[in-house]
Amino acid sequence: MWGGRFAEGPAAVMREINASIPFDKRLWRQDIAGSIAHVRMQAAQGIIAADDAAAIEQGLRTIEAEYEANGVPERIELEDIHMVTESRLAELIGPTAGRLHTARSRNDQVATDFRLWVRDAIDAVDAGLKALQVALVTRAAEHADSVMPGFTHLQVAQPVTLGHHLMAYYEMIRRDRSRFADARVRMNECPLGAAALAGTGFPIDRSATAAALGFDKPTDNSLDSVSDRDFALDYLMSATQVALHLSRLAEEFIIWASQPYGFVKLSDAWSTGSSIMPQKRNPDAAELVRGHAGRIVGAMTSLVITMKGLPLAYSKDMQDDKPPVFEAHDLLGLAIAAMTGMIESVSFQVPRLRQVAEVGFSTATDLADWLVRDAGIPFREAHHITGRAVKLAEEEGVALDMLDLAALKNIDPRIDERVFAALSVDSSVASRKSHGGTAPDQVRARIADARIALELDR
């Protein structure tokens, strides 16, 4: 490829470090689609003859079938997917293949291919995230009334419903999908035709190639077109946020599956055993989801560091843009699928969840709220009174609703027998009727909203 300028070939190590075909071969579908759109535009604009364009497109279709059947050959000496394909095209149709690269550069070619690939990746991730949301909503509907402990600082705080807890993750994934959707809109501009960095003197129609490839419009600055990798960073940052959310849910499953908690039993399909301890049921799928999050964060950091100091326009450093995106995408797909499977199959131990919700004085806030609402006491004073009641219950080793009324009156005479109706976990949960609260009716309302958003009731 460099014979006109260089007298000698590259050193063996240079050939190896310079080659990207081992990883950018994943772009072959996008590369062929971009080349077909380009050659059709060339013919329409009179840049090349119609019969040459037809021969090139036919050759590209042949290569497409070959790649589909046999994969892409890793010819290191040809460097990348673009030159491997162009070389094969020349073998098939002869010197006419050389006309394909008129009015484009590998710089705008790879920028276009990579955008197309990331766009497809976003669509695949969105489908997976929607399936995860469906699983969360389905299980939440089963447990809209199931009482469990709500935690702050990993201490029992207030009772909530399991359905409410699961719907919290639905909301996280909803935001994740919106970030990917925003990234897709932002990136859907076509760099093809920017050439190396300055545009081209040929009478190309960039709007035609943009439309043919499903882009909204061509990019507006040729320098930015070939040097921009914001779309890849947007993907990685969105993927990182998903990975963090999945990792949090995975962490909860890991904790909940342990014997001290006993909140869930993971199915055999998503657990492993021990090579030495036959009693073990290890939450390895959840642990790997948690572990993959670190690798996805690392992939995002890798590209951020690569891009941080690059002057305009293209630099060879940018060849390293694709491995972190490919790795993150593969890991994210596995993590989403694994978490969806775990949600669908997990057995929630509802009696145990209720048992833990009833310890730790989880309805103390309800006592304080009752004092404010029914006894007319300012909240700060009610908080102090409740603290004394909790201390007494702790000393006597009973729950708040098991304290003797006389003992409560001794703490504050304004307390009467009506207070006991507010101190059960069921009453506590049912009272949280504010929008977005844990009351079962509110949980069912949010589930209904989610089903509409997910188009489950069409």
pLDDT in tens, 122-152: 999 999 999 999 999 999 999 999 999 999 9
Q: Which residue has the higher pLDDT, 53 or 407?
A: 53
Q: What is the model's pLDDT at position 6?
A: 54
The answer to whether the CB of 83 falls within 8 A of the CB of 31 is no
279 pLDDT band (50/70/90 cuts)? low
Write the DSSP symbol of residue 397: T
The answer to whether the CB of 78 falls within 8 A of the CB of 84 is yes
pLDDT tens per residue across span 318-368:
999 999 999 999 999 999 999 999 999 999 999 999 999 988 778 888 889
Assess whether pLDDT exceeds 60 at residue 2: no
Rounded mean pLDDT of the chain? 93
Q: Quick check: helix, strand or coil at residue 458? A: coil
Average pLDDT over residues 51-58: 98
pLDDT tens per residue across span 94-107:
999 999 999 999 99
153 as an active site residue: the answer is yes
Q: What is the largest CA-CA distance in the chain?
A: 101
Cα separation, 269 vs 49, in Å, equals: 59
Average pLDDT over residues 423-436: 91
274 as an active site residue: the answer is yes
40 pLDDT band (50/70/90 cuts)? very high
Assess whether pLDDT exceeds 60 at residue 380: yes
Average pLDDT over residues 15-34: 94
Percent of the chain with pLDDT over 90: 78
Cα separation, 103 vs 112, in Å, equals: 14
Assess whether pLDDT exceeds 60 at residue 285: yes
The answer to whether the CB of 310 falls within 8 A of the CB of 324 is no
Q: What is the model's pLDDT at position 397?
A: 86
pLDDT tens per residue across span 216-262:
999 999 999 999 999 999 999 999 999 999 999 999 999 999 989 99
Write the DSSP symbol of residue 313: S
User: CA Rg, the chain, in Å?
Assistant: 30
Measured CA angle at 247 (ends 232, 454), to 5 deg: 75
pLDDT tens per residue across span 55-67:
999 999 999 999 9
Judging by DSSP bridges, how do beta strands 155-161 and 147-152 pair with one another?
antiparallel
* Phi, psi for 336 (deg, rounded to 5): -65, -45
Average pLDDT over residues 180-207: 98
Q: What is the model's pLDDT at position 331?
A: 98
Cis peptide before 141 (omega within 30 of 0): no
Q: How many CB atoms lie within 10 A of CB 458?
A: 6
Determine if residue 8 is left, alpha or beta; phi over 0 gives left, psi from -120 to 50 gives alpha, anything else beta. beta
Catalytic residue, candidates 178, 258, 274, 315: 274
Q: What is the model's pLDDT at position 393?
A: 86
Catalytic residue, candidates 35, 153, 164, 427: 153
Determine if residue 147 is left, alpha or beta; phi over 0 gives left, psi from -120 to 50 gives alpha, anything else beta. beta
Cα separation, 162 vs 142, in Å, equals: 9
190 pLDDT band (50/70/90 cuts)? very high
